[in-house]
Structure 1
Amino acid sequence: MGDHHGHDDDGVHDHDRGLQFDMSTLMSRRRALQLLAVGGLSVGGLAAIVGCGSSSPAAGTTAAATTATTAATTATDVAAVPEETAGPFPADGSNGVNVLTESGIVRRDITTSFGAASGVAEGVPLTIEMTILDIARGGAAAPGAAVYAWHCDREGRYSLYDGEIASENYLRGVQEADGSGRVTFRSIFPAAYSGRWPHIHFEVYPRLDEATAAGAKLVTSQIALPDDACAAVYATAGYEQSATNLSRTSLATDMVFSDGYSTQLGTVTGSVSEGMTVRLNVGV
């Protein structure tokens, strides 16, 4: 698997180059997000104010006072998901190919390729469920927002970039949030490749048409997959190399998650035999 991941058609080790290159971008993005949070500025029209707790009415507070407190509370019940690197393989037009403007990218099932491609990603079934929450409105659901999600396959390769699957576009898709702010993708559990904790990339856009035009993003971030779920999946056939790679890293040492992952660690339910679901609330 390590021989597959991170090599483009020219044989350059993009993964290593990308991680090093993205470190400066990652840190500057996080610093910018923190400054915006402190200053009360907005990101794509939504205030990126990082919450750090919730307000609970004291005993005996009247219903009217409780309502007033709730209405006055903004961004204290939901924390903003941190800005992260998109990595070297986003396919959003920022690093080569742009899959977002292609017909067929808006879909729920991302296990298969679309358009002229016909590949299918094999692996343990995984449903990815994200709920987009508007921090400027006290953590209310953000219906109509759009999410572009992508991740590597069972072998640790990214479609549209790795030489062996450069003609495929599976494990990439866009969904519009429903009335509850929820988006759902049907996928497979990604591999753990060398140097990174298992993760899922995503970008949040204010509207679907903004996403499919590769327009202005609200945030780029990543979902961290919990250790117990990874261990269970990587004990199955096809994920042998992932088990080895997982043993060599941790959330505490991962270059993306080591500075804190409380708002990025997904909750996983289900089983290997029946499929799993990872859920994450995403404050933007």
Structure 2
Amino acid sequence: MNIFQSIIYPPPPSLFLNVMTAVCFIAIANLGISEVRGTHLAYSKFWNWKEAASGKKSSAGTAAKVSGRTGMLMLYTPALVAAVVSFSLPGVLAAPRGVLVCAALGLHFLKRDLEILLIHKFSGNMMVDSAIPISFSYFTNTVLIIVSQYLSTGMPEPDVNLTYAGIVLFLVGITGNFYHHYLLSKLREKGDKTYKIPTGGLFNLVICPHYLFEIIDLFGIALISQTLHSYCFAFGSMFYLMGRSVATRNWYKSKFENFPTGVKALIPYIF
């Protein structure tokens, strides 16, 4: 327990927030288990997985869906707005750590929106019934991280200050994530909607290095914040992205006979 007390603020005096922390962690981690089991959130290459798996086309015609670009903007924009609005709340920004947390969250989601608008190329649609819960999760967890930081103001600081380590991790994560998203975007020429095996960077070792760096990014935010909710969100997201990376690797293996067997899902040489 002393180890945890040295790196984390005490849980805030809010039953609602503490319950939501547990609920959000379980819900996000469970999505990772679902991905491994074959129940995918319907975006990216899995946007029409139900129809492809069943061989039916009727549900694709009736289910609500939006373009991939619109769907991805739906995922991240509400959370970006929450992070930006937080700068108008003086209580949240009463301490330097609070400013850094809000800034990191804002940069995280601003980068994602700019990538969607300027870099990413989309080959399919997104099911609305997947976009809404993902968007709600990002928005809710962003708000709860900010609220947790606010409620921690005035509490005894953790014995070990991990703010600077968190800043380093965040910068490494956000940079590596952007770089590998850029490599993905270069796989296709304009108008090309086919999938290819990505190469370059860490793609030669893992199929989802952008997920690996997103995990690093989120743990950077958690170390800057050092609140229970920020840690739980980072761990929950890690479990989800682990499951999603396994599903992605299985998808590539099923589509490409020449998929390199030595390319792992998420962690080079290990996983």
Q: Structure 2 length as normaliser, TM-score?
A: 0.26
Higher relative contact order (CA 8 A, sep 6+): 2
- Normalised by the length of structure 1, the TM-score is 0.25
